[in-house]
Chains A and B, each alone.
Chain A
């Protein structure tokens, strides 16, 4: 596709359930980021993938959070045993790292609500 695609756009789940959020970056982009944004707050870094390098997981808030990026393309963010404080918009972005006129391209996000 032409842009970064995230699915689902909305997810309502019960406390304690596991959820999977998906991100399809722009084809050819080697860098992929996950962020979350709580209502009225700034962007909180979660994890960063760059090519075949080991991902930077320093932003993951707990061991309930994990992410994969298969084949250097699609990424899945998994939250196990969800808690109410996990409710937020989860945003994915991709970029072509090192390109002179590099821009970040963001998906529309997944609104996660944990009841």
Chain B
């Protein structure tokens, strides 16, 4: 099935550092979502973006809907150990079907 390209694939960072990840698509989306998944659990919604250029924050998390509508970015500031997990982007076009990114596996070193 179709997937979005997400990078980096994985990253190890020190506690307190900022984290950036992005998601790119060859097609245009009208909604971008960012999820976090812990091992053995379903994804949990972090941030939803609806308009090109939109910048939305949720605590230490900030996400942006790219101007071209083909990409989105997620930043995590001052990372803490509980930020560890897999982060997925998801895009939606005209239908209600969501396409997921390949995931970014984040590990935080205390």
The yes or no verdict on A and B being binding partners is no
Chain A positions within 8 Å of B, measured between CB atoms, are: none
